[in-house]
Amino acid sequence: MTVTTNTPSAALTASGVVMQSDEIKEYLPHRYPFLLVDRVIELIPNEHIKALKNVSINEPFFQGHFPHYAVMPGVLIIEALAQTAALLALKTSGEKRDDKTVVYLAGIDDARFKRPVVPGDTLIMTARILVEKRGVVKFAVQAHVGDALACEAELLCTKRSIA
């Protein structure tokens, strides 16, 4: 995956949204209940992205995690951040989803969880490209709820042929 295209900032709509769910689905293969990015509100190709996930009590994982105190699983916060990072990489390269390739999460470094994410929260996710080398992109990612940091990590993603 090459992320060297240097295109201008994505234009915001009047609502402040860069990408809605229909356009997100053009880039990511995930679908409900595993599509964890609701909309993108900021995107500068080859630099950074900011996206949102509205966390609802109706999320299927809350039935078992935990029934007496609903908390979004940390691995799903990381997955939401990886989907956000993949959107940045794909928008940067100008590539949309196809049936022959997939962007994989290849590594997670220095992951830290700072506060629980609960129903009613809006997860504000950011990803910033740190480096790209031999088809692997390293991202610095963070998830906030309001001004409070919920999670941070460095993620490695790579695009691979599946056909």
- Residues taking part in catalysis: 65
Residue found under tokens 């900021």: 42
Report d(CA 20, CA 48) in Å as an integer: 17
The tokens describing 128, both together, are 């910033």
DSSP line for the chain: ------PPPPPP-TTS-SB-HHHHHHH----TTS----EEEEEETTTEEEEEEE--TT-GGGGTS-TTS----HHHHHHHHHHHHHHHHHHHHTPPP-SSEEEEEEEEEEEEE-S---TT-EEEEEEEEEEEETTEEEEEEEEEETTEEEEEEEEEEEEEE--
